[in-house]
A and B are shown apart, each in its own frame.
Chain A
């Protein structure tokens, strides 16, 4: 492998600026404390780092369990070729969530405490365990890619034997903690605005994680095809788009029924602070993508699918931020907007996510060779190294 020449491109310049700001923010966070680096307060103990980095981070990494379930458990073979990049996205996502959590925790060096100091009545305890175990599972699901690269046959065979057990365990863990991120808020019936507080919060979080898992896979495949010059497998994305329609419709109907039965539906039409954010969320996450994907012409085009996926992602990011920030502002009597340090550190993690994906995709066999039988998680086969187009060229 020849070392590619380093060229300074527009995106690399942006990346460098974000990293410098992020590293400076990191210095402020760890040497001057949470007070100096955030707009958090006694009224508002959770802000952007919980609302976006953790809540959205975990949600955006849901493609890993969604796709492995579809391919390995439901045996939908034609989706095989996109499993590896999806697992990579999920693995990077969880690593970044863990790293971001170290910034938000007041005493990050105690992060291992839940291992030995257990409180099974705490949702946070359950989430901590699931995230820890699932990150391990993702590392193992990702390991064949590395083992293949270095041609380590013995461990490769062991991992492949274990793969279906790992996949089932991973789906189980994901189901638990994706929904539990919603359960976290069940203890705040008097705090969270009725638009979002519902006994069905765990169900909504789980369903939206599946929707986002599918949307993220469409998004990431489209981006890969653009930046690695790969052929876009539109038929595969179309299947994902169909799945997305079903999940979004289920979510939308359940949301409607939930609002109806809790007597909140009328409030949706009454202008107000929460109402504006709620409408933006519902239009972006459910109505607009559903309207787009119902049109066969849109569903059959790469651009149409990409647009619907991006809208879905933005919609559910809005949802998570509404639950963590908008929905509690009135009850605690304070408004919250992140400080610049919070924003640049979050920006740094997003940038790192893209950069790591690019690097791994460049040096490890993430994408299958087109037309060659698709390499699966659980299949033993010899394969050539993928030779992706050079990043940034």
Chain B
């Protein structure tokens, strides 16, 4: 069963304990100045945004079919069956295609380090693999961030909007965006207010490239045969000429 998070901004009080728990879990520095940064970075995997006392969490959305894992030439980024999109620095060569491809601008880079890597939320993959929940969900005092099976969280999100239509902006962000994400967001205002794009395709992004890539195995023998065929035909005349010349020579030798 694929796990996920449901973040309900209407229940969030902006205490930022999720930020702190995340930093502790991942061994990242955390103090007042980090807390005041309302954006994610190579040393801050989740950020709580405050827009006129409307809150929103930013973190990796853990797409169902992630662009980052699809584009990674060495498989350093992977979508695990449990839900988290993980990163293995020992495989990475630093091409940063994941950063270019991510529709949410999630992967960050350690630009200042001599041996840099990609940094992002990995949905506490180790905890989840042991049957636990993410640090942010565990610490959340109001239940605004809830960990669980994605299917059940999605049901619950639908129910909340249905039961309290006035309290919510009627959209579950992550239900269909780029083919669906493991992290689901609810809000009382439109998601555009927090910098989310509202024109994201509902199609999983890897399909755009795979529909071209998947043709290559068929294309190679066809095009190779075509080129070989052209060569064979265009050089036919020379072959004939060479053969005739040889015949002449043999006749000459026989005489």
Binding site for B on A (CB under 8 A): 31-36, 40-43, 45-46, 69, 72-75, 104-108, 110-111, 113-114, 117-126, 128, 164, 168-169, 171-172, 175-176, 183-184, 186-191, 202, 328, 332
How far apart sit A342 and B205, CA to CA, in the bound complex (Å)? 31
The distance from the CB of A31 to the nearest CB of chain B, in whole angstroms, is: 8
The distance from the CB of B36 to the nearest CB of chain A, in whole angstroms, is: 18
Asked whether B100 lies within 8 Å of A33 as measured between CB atoms, the reply is no
How far apart sit A126 and B223, CA to CA, in the bound complex (Å)? 17
For residue B100, which residues in chain A have a CB less than 8 angstroms away from its CB? 45-46, 188, 191, 328
Asked whether B223 lies within 8 Å of A172 as measured between CB atoms, the reply is yes
New A-B pairs, 4, CB < 8 Å, besides A168-B231, A175-B223: A40-B109, A42-B42, A46-B96, A110-B92
Interface hub of B100, B117, B227 (most chain A Cβ within 10 A):
B100
Whether a CB of chain A sits under 8 angstroms from the CB of B241 is: no
CB within 8 Å for A73 and B231 given contacts A122-B70, A126-B216, A189-B201: yes
Asked whether B116 lies within 8 Å of A118 as measured between CB atoms, the reply is no
> Inter-chain contact count A-B, CB under 8 Å?
161
Q: Mark B72-84, 1 if CB is under 8 A from A, else 0.
A: 1111100000000
Asked whether B70 lies within 8 Å of A191 as measured between CB atoms, the reply is no
For residue A120, which residues in chain B have a CB less than 8 angstroms away from its CB? 213
For residue A42, which residues in chain B have a CB less than 8 angstroms away from its CB? 41-42, 99, 105, 107-109, 111
The distance from the CB of A267 to the nearest CB of chain B, in whole angstroms, is: 16
Asked whether A123 lies within 8 Å of B71 as measured between CB atoms, the reply is yes
Asked whether B228 lies within 8 Å of A168 as measured between CB atoms, the reply is yes
For residue B92, which residues in chain A have a CB less than 8 angstroms away from its CB? 106-107, 110
Asked whether A187 lies within 8 Å of B208 as measured between CB atoms, the reply is yes
For residue A183, which residues in chain B have a CB less than 8 angstroms away from its CB? 209, 212-213
Interface residues of B in 79-133 (CB under 8 A from A): 91-97, 99-101, 103, 105, 107-109, 111-117
CB within 8 Å for A33 and B210 given contacts A107-B94, A108-B93, A172-B227: no
Asked whether B231 lies within 8 Å of A187 as measured between CB atoms, the reply is no
For residue A114, which residues in chain B have a CB less than 8 angstroms away from its CB? 73-74, 93
Contact of A187 among B67, B111, B112 (CB under 8 A): B67
